[in-house]
Amino acid sequence: NGIAVLAIDDGDDLSAALVPYWELRYPLTAGSRFVQRERSNVDFGSDLDGDGRNESATLRSEVTVAGTEAITVPLGSFASALRVNRSSTLTIRLSRDGSTVTGTENASVWFVRNVGWVRRTQTATANGLTTTIDEVLEAYFNSGGNGGTQPVSGPIASGTLPAGGVVTHVWSAQPLGPYTVSLTTGTVNPL
């Protein structure tokens, strides 16, 4: 039916309160949409107003499949990447006086067949402040395996790749200056 997030173990009370939810719903056809998460009055997990009580939060997020488009990332150009957009609104109710603070987030992810996501952008706005994150695929490592994406244990940043045909992706936040990837075994595939 799709890809579901069943649990989050990141130590964040709000994240834990928002599962389970669908990350993607199949079929991924242009124009299809669904409400990803809609939760009201969940424990925010923090006391923002200093009264000794955690604030409550309401979240609504909707996912829309925009369709396919060409995209270029540092790794290369792809003629047909599937773009998926998410729009979210988070309202925090302060326990001291009942006032609210609302933040919005708009995100897009581009997926390429047999690679995974190659770009992800997020723009969040709250209290007049806007933060934008743009992550792009920088490298694609293949140690001679049977293709496809497989999980990797351990960080890539350690300088070693797991043996045995594992395919690994490396993404980085932009802007980032040029750098060199050096491998003692395996191959770097520029797709």
Q: How confident is the model at residue 140 (pLDDT cuts 50, 70, 90)?
A: low
The dihedral formed by the CA atoms of 75, 80, 82 and 83, expressed in degrees to the nearest 10: 70
Neighbours of 90 (CB within 10 A): 20
Instruction: Output the pLDDT for position 165.
Output: 40
Q: What's the whole-model pTM score?
A: 0.71
Nearest to 164 by CA among 183, 181, 185: 185
Instruction: Output the pLDDT for position 148.
Output: 42
d(CA 66, CA 140): 25
Nearest to 17 by CA among 47, 38, 48, 1: 38
